Chains A and B, each alone.
Chain A
Amino acid sequence: MSKFLIVFKREYAQVVKKKSFVVGLILTPVLMLAFVLLPALLAHMKADGTERLAIIDQTERSIGNQFAESLNEYKLTDDEDTPYYSVEQVYTINPGDSVRFRAVEESLREQINDKNLKYFLVLRQDADLVDSSMYIVTNSDNFRSLRRFERKLSDLMASVRLEMSDINLSVDSALTLTRSIDLVVRDTKGESMPFLTKYFSALVFVMVLFGTILGYGQLVMRSVIEEKNSRIMEVMISSVSPFQLMMGKVIGLGAATLTQVAVWFAMGAGLFLLRSSFDIDPSIDRIVFNPAIIVFFVLYLVSGYLLFSTLFALLGSIVTSDKEAQSLVAPITMLLILPVILGIAVVQEPNSLMARVLSLIPFTAPTMMMMRLVFVAPTLSEYSLFSGIVGEALLGFLLVVAAFAGMVWLTSKVFRIGILMYGKRATLPEIIKWLKY
């Protein structure tokens, strides 16, 4: 067995055996799950009065009226007759009359902003054929209601579409064959996802990424410092090359990180399979179960960890104590936490120049790109390796990998000398001198 593997195995075992590892393994997904489920639970408790809505119907089958009628089954409380929803008005607008349509839509938007209305549903001309021709506008995040609308519309559309087709099948049995439609939800600004949802999802992703990279990166640093302080380094260096030792540590602890992520994924997959049994906000669904976001989360976690842990190995080799290291850790933490600090700015313009540049600089890329990915939340049709957010994310990832390679070179130069310096912190001129060996 190569010596790298021996070091790797020990470093891995040392972390995985720790109680804190198991705690983090369980606690993080529990917190994330709480984040996903808590709004659902809160929404169930929330019933602060009848919700008013309006409908713009441009179809020729008066789907709007049928929909309004179907909402009557929902009551505010089980034993009372107060309806949960009150449809204030159904505007039937001729498909050709775009002037009136715009005027009505504008006034409804204002009513929502004034809180006179909670929702308005728009059924464009061909809504009976194409799902994306209907959307709902609201500033509310009560996705329990949104889910109800979605269900009712699905049923309604299924039967309308069946009637239109010539299939000789009873309506009831065909219904079970139809899938539920994906109702597009917009806020009054035209954004398709509520701000808070995006912001908090992005924050959760970034914090998990940040915490994992920083936590495990610092473990690498501590492990180096411990070996320096316990004077074991000299024995180690007489058995393995400094490079083997350094990479064994970095990759060994990295494997522990991956173990953690793999367990989270297994939990996530379980959640994915179970998701139909509880109400998950559709927009959270679009973020948490977005393949692009998941893939890049793993890529950035791995590459970001490798880059930063190698940097931390370098720091560990030039300082003499944990305390001394802390002053150097602070600026690194800043690099990673930058997207959170700039969060509001990024939210408003995820494709601004600043956000783009920061998401391509290797040290800020992992968290910044993750933040942007969540904000843009690309749909499958937007996936392209050479353009758009997915293309940029790929480029950012490659840059992080390149930076990691450079960091390995730099660290291997400094490491082999730094680890044997006791009692004195290396100065910058000294380190530059070491690079020339």
Chain B
Amino acid sequence: MLLTLDNICKSFGDTVAVNNLSLQVPEGVIYGIIGPNGAGKTTTIRMIMNITIPDAGRVLIDGQPATPDFRNRVGYLPEERGLYKKMTVTEVLVYMAQLKGCSAQAAQSQVDPWLERMGLFDYRSKKVEELSKGMQQKLQFISTILHDPDLVILDELFSGLDPLNIEIIKDILLELKRNGKTILFSTHVMEQAEKLCDHVCMISRGRKVIDGSMTEVKAQFGRNSVQIEIEGNGHFLRELSGVLHVTEFNNYLELELAEGVDSNEILKQVVERVAVRRFTQLEPSLYNIFIEMAQVEQPGSDMSGGGDSV
């Protein structure tokens, strides 16, 4: 399924939440919408789901405006989670799948395998309210994909999940992608986006600031830098020709090199002076790009919230 947003806009009163946003989600990829809190990620997703109606612009599915049938082909996990607390785990899963057009029998046959995979099988007859919050999260994730949707939209998927469950869910997402499904998710946690996404779109203050495949984005923001861990004093590093800037960390240093400088030449020079434990050619992290872009977008604002959740 090909999802296209065509110049969509949404304002709430005087606040512009989404400003002329266009993007295209190709089929069979994991697509990340990233951006700081309040950037307009959730509003964008709600407009895709037809929960919020855009002030202007169109949402197209395979080039056509969405039909009611679109609902059945999408699995949606909203940022605000919730399930019927008084229903049992199995009941709630079957009900939600039925609402997506599955027959009760088809849904029922899918419930147990998924519960088993997510470690909830023993709770299948328990009421939802008896489950812990993390378990309810997992349950809601199952209900998002139980009806085998072509497009899965996950708003702040990983919030509230422990690393073990994050790994389980990542595996499932990669499996879905292998089966040709499209996955769109939003997050402000860059490390996760970096590990998962084929394609990223960063939005800030309702506008798109970066859009492209992960390799393109990294190439665009690529800087020539290396990480180095040495024994002894690294003062001399600043004087090496071709080194523009040195950042010292507790156990290692990061060197920013001038354009066209071969990092191997640098390594040779360093090995002559001190013992090298580790030497890595660095790619720019999405986190750094995010910080950089966000600071450009919002000069002076505190962006420390960007990467602290992991």
Which listed residue (A7, A10, A235) contacts B78, Cβ 8 A? A235
User: For chain B residues 216-275, which have a beta carbon within 8 Å of chain A?
Assistant: none
State which of A146-154, A236-244, A329-337 sits at the interface with chain B: A236-244
In the complex, what distance in Å separates the CA atom of A420 from the CA atom of B68?
19
B44 to chain A, nearest CB (A): 14
User: For chain A residues 1-24, which have a beta carbon within 8 Å of chain B?
Assistant: 1, 3, 6-7, 10, 14
- Nearest B residue to A234 via CB reads B78
- Nearest A residue to B74 via CB reads A238
Task: Check if A230 sits within 8 Å of B99, measured CB to CB.
Answer: no
B113 to chain A, nearest CB (A): 22
- Total number of residue pairs linking A and B with CB closer than 8 Å: 56
User: For chain B residues 18-71, which have a beta carbon within 8 Å of chain A?
Assistant: 46, 49, 51, 53, 68, 71
Task: Check if B80 sits within 8 Å of A238, measured CB to CB.
Answer: no
- Nearest A residue to B53 via CB reads A437
A433 to chain B, nearest CB (A): 12
- Assuming A231-B78, A237-B51, A238-B51, is B83 touching A6 (CB within 8 A)? no
- Nearest A residue to B140 via CB reads A235
Which listed residue (A230, A238, A422, A437) contacts B49, Cβ 8 A? A238
User: For chain A residues 196-248, which have a beta carbon within 8 Å of chain B?
Assistant: 227, 230-241
- Nearest B residue to A228 via CB reads B82
User: When each residue 60-97 of chain B gets 1 if its CB lies under 8 Å from chain A and 0 otherwise, what string results?
Assistant: 00000000100110101110111111100000000110
Task: Check if B82 sits within 8 Å of A233, measured CB to CB.
Answer: yes
B167 to chain A, nearest CB (A): 25
B135 to chain A, nearest CB (A): 15
Task: Check if B82 sits within 8 Å of A240, measured CB to CB.
Answer: no
Report the interface size class on chain A.
20 to 34
B151 to chain A, nearest CB (A): 11
In the complex, what distance in Å separates the CA atom of A231 from the CA atom of B84?
9
Task: Check if A231 sits within 8 Å of B81, measured CB to CB.
Answer: yes
A222 to chain B, nearest CB (A): 12
B192 within 8 Å of A by Cβ?
A: no
- Nearest B residue to A248 via CB reads B99
- Nearest A residue to B128 via CB reads A230
In the complex, what distance in Å separates the CA atom of A7 from the CA atom of B84?
13
A420 to chain B, nearest CB (A): 6
Task: Check if A232 sits within 8 Å of B95, measured CB to CB.
Answer: no
Task: Check if A10 sits within 8 Å of B51, measured CB to CB.
Answer: no
A18 to chain B, nearest CB (A): 10
- Assuming A14-B86, A238-B74, A241-B68, is B99 touching A6 (CB within 8 A)? yes
In the bound complex, residues from chain A placing their C-beta under 8 Å from that of B101 are 3
Interface size on B, residues (CB 8 A): 27
In the bound complex, residues from chain A placing their C-beta under 8 Å from that of B74 are 238
- Nearest A residue to B48 via CB reads A238
Task: Check if B71 sits within 8 Å of A231, measured CB to CB.
Answer: no
Task: Check if A7 sits within 8 Å of B99, measured CB to CB.
Answer: yes
In the complex, what distance in Å separates the CA atom of A437 from the CA atom of B78?
24
In the bound complex, residues from chain A placing their C-beta under 8 Å from that of B68 are 241
Which listed residue (A7, A230, A241) contacts B83, Cβ 8 A? A230
In the bound complex, residues from chain A placing their C-beta under 8 Å from that of B85 are 230
Task: Check if B51 sits within 8 Å of A235, measured CB to CB.
Answer: no
In the complex, what distance in Å separates the CA atom of A239 from the CA atom of B95?
11
- Chain A CB within 10 Å — which of B49, B72, B82, B143 has the most? B82
- Assuming A14-B86, A241-B68, A420-B51, is B80 touching A236 (CB within 8 A)? no
Which listed residue (A6, A14, A234, A237) contacts B98, Cβ 8 A? A6
Task: Check if A238 sits within 8 Å of B76, measured CB to CB.
Answer: yes
A233 to chain B, nearest CB (A): 7
- Assuming A6-B99, A420-B51, is B80 touching A239 (CB within 8 A)? no
Task: Check if A230 sits within 8 Å of B84, measured CB to CB.
Answer: yes
In the bound complex, residues from chain B placing their C-beta under 8 Å from that of A241 are 68
- Chain B CB within 10 Å — which of A3, A10, A232, A437 has the most? A232
A67 to chain B, nearest CB (A): 65
Which listed residue (A10, A234, A422) contacts B95, Cβ 8 A? A10
- Nearest A residue to B95 via CB reads A10
Which listed residue (B51, B84, B100) contacts A232, Cβ 8 A? B84
Sample of 13 further A-B pairs with CB below 8 A, known A3-B101, A239-B72: A6-B95, A7-B99, A230-B85, A231-B81, A232-B84, A234-B78, A235-B82, A235-B96, A236-B99, A238-B74, A239-B99, A241-B68, A422-B80
Task: Using CB atoms and an 8 Å cutoff, list the residues of chain A in contact with chain B.
Answer: 1, 3, 6-7, 10, 14, 227, 230-241, 420, 422, 437
- Contacts A/B (CB < 8 Å), 20 sampled: A1-B98, A3-B99, A3-B101, A6-B99, A10-B95, A230-B85, A231-B78, A231-B80, A231-B81, A233-B82, A235-B76, A235-B77, A235-B78, A235-B143, A237-B49, A238-B51, A238-B74, A238-B78, A239-B100, A240-B99
A-B pairs, 8 with minimum CB distance: A231-B82, A232-B82, A239-B99, A231-B80, A230-B82, A234-B78, A238-B76, A6-B98
